Structure 1
């Protein structure tokens, strides 16, 4: 499932510097009062590594109560308060952090932004300067400092400050973009025009650059140029709600307000730029802190909340992600995407009925919402409710005027739903349509090839499909299992064992693969190992119908079933 900001890109903030997820580790009914100092500290560290922000914060707070002057604990509580959006509390702790670490980057930024709110710009710059000793710190400090000069109307100093970014070519896009915003805010149109053109040439696929540049062009009476900027972006990101909204407003003749109205909004945008550039798995904790700082300054609240929800989702902190998405204004064009992500996160939290209700409400509001229809189908499919899944996919496919390459997934998913409800005559055409739209897609090749092997139909074609899938994804245990099972069906038991043993190595906990390997072992006379694999399959929670079959084999062994040859495979469409 794609995330809202990911869906809106391709490049959110220039891309510089810097699937189904497991359930988040939980700490229910935490009792920190009876925990020792060392116990609270260790539990807090463990919870932090598990990215359980609530538990980590509680444990560190308890440890700090037991040892109120511990520098390590003060710093950790500061970071967790900041990451939790408790900025007022973080400001108090920031002062304590600086008493023993005067160069603490995040503490300096927190206090510098407090100075900005109090119009103490000289003191803010002092704090920012002391944070500029790492690449990220230098970038952030430079952008924020430039905006403080803009707040004072000092154009020369603002641009002199941005010139510091010239020392690092990878920061050139940030300079161009924020140079344009600052010049625009200060009314320096000639300079703004130059910076915007440069930013657009460097990052024309960046959502924020496109929004800001189009907005500037509109406000300066250059509507045709603005339209071209919007339409070029929409060619690659057709469904982007923000740029679509801007283009619709242009068509209506509505003159937009300034993209950045205040220096504080410019600083929020700077923090957003850095946070979004950091939001990969390696930088999520830092990105979270920056996103909270962006929200602490008056700016584009809805886009910042969307980024925050995105980051929490990537951290597997699903309830916090839901809270962030739910805080987006109901009138925002970002709200439908947010509601869709809330539904996915509710599903991940095993709140299946709430997830479906959220999506159904979204569809009731807009029955033509293709993404919502597909996501509803996915939720049903993940819950093994295959009949209603097929209905949802039917509704989604009905919205497609002409299937394009990107639509291969919905045909693939509907094919799975049909296959699982034993409607092979409907499933096979969907799989083949998916392959028509996305040739050599390994998941489709595997599913279709495996299904035909299992049904003993079209075996020559089926085996070719599975072999191709293995070539494309040689380390996918499920695909390697399909190839092993194809050899088993053909009576090529030694080769089947070879492939199935490798599949088990790749997916050791999968009951179906273990079951297949047990069958292959039995056929070559390794009966003890066969029973071990069947027991292993039984212990790994197979489907009920598979469990009954496995238990029978454990008691009676594997019944004779003569292999088929490719020539014996029945033609397409015959269930065999």
Structure 2
């Protein structure tokens, strides 16, 4: 079954989504490591200075150079270890020319001389390392990797060689191999923080969670006093929905560094919210309030947790305390009202919002909030009276006029709403939801052409905005322009391929028309994957099987849909059709009669009544 409700601009939403895993780790590194973080494309930053400074000169190996850009003057043959033979003298002069060219900013010329130096002395660590580094700066990732592999092979006990190989492999997206190279570097230089940072960044870049997890576990063991590996492991476990492990790792991060206690606690709160562990959430908020009784954020969180537990008395006690402590501050009362509203207690929200709207210091925001809740509770006349109080110079005016028009359904209010949105558009554009709601007002009045014009105008302001495109497809469908509907809905699906609403609507449209049934089934099954257990999408799938002639399968699925949404007339009618097609006329009649009083569309109701009358006349029912 297709289901689309135009959004109300006064809708209230409390939830904030968590950051994706990559950003959780990368943000942690950038915040807490700061200047040690390695730029993704910087070979200069890639080489750990500490490793260079500590590296002993071994037989057949040069001392590691200081970065070229840091040099005030080139090194002498004595300090570089070059120049003892004719070949080495050639390599030294070429190497020196390369460094001077790089200092002058001519990387191409520098690279030319470094290659000549490498040809003259291919075993020199200094020359090979500088050549790898400069290759990185030139973004020659393929050549860089080959040179880095050769460098590490020739100098297997050099930590910097393995580090550079790790950088080259990471740039080539060979994350597992990069991790091995970095770990080898740490085996040689166990305390090297630059490698630690590189591994942290590698964990954030890895597209495979198991690679990131393995890296972070090894870092947590090697650097037990560092909080970041533990913190990032918490993010991975949260992503994997391994809630207890996530909480444990965040806790260890806080233990390792007291400065991490606050961000770790916030993540623990998110974990408990996502996992539905409300009792544990309450414990966290109580602990926060024990530390700071004036923590209003903790109080609000505690109230929300009590509401989630359906413990209204305790929630009210906390919320009343918040309001009292604020001295009746309007912003606090609005937040409390939103809290009640978002938790499914509109009565409590209405009390706060309407009381606020009646205060002499109230304004358009308070009136709009109060009217929205009243409208949702079915008190439309009261809501209308408040909506029309909002003055034209308020930023809530267009929203209020559209909502008022949706209640009154008068031509006068529709035109006022249209002008209000037009004015908002002229001041820099209106929100997409406002256009969608305005179009719905004209659609309800069967003025499809005006609704189409509104949505097309919106699409000129918000080009290819997927929700506007989807809504235009819905409009064409209800207008009876099926070809246009399918064309536009396909565009919407292309713009938001993971939207269960768009997938379902297009699939159901195919099924209802009896065309492209295989595509319809695939679209609806994908929608159900994105939104499992949805009764309306389940109904769509049952209807596809019905159209395919598989009445037994249709009956099985439609029964599930009715279990999920027992009072939806269209789903009940579909189930009745499946009973009738399966030969059970008595159950069909019973189901049709259940659907009849629930059907609000009068045209559809006439068709349903006709089915009932024909079935009774057929003699197939008792």
TM range (shorter): 0.3 to 0.5
- Using the size of structure 2 for normalisation, the TM-score is 0.42
**Greater C-alpha Rg:** 2
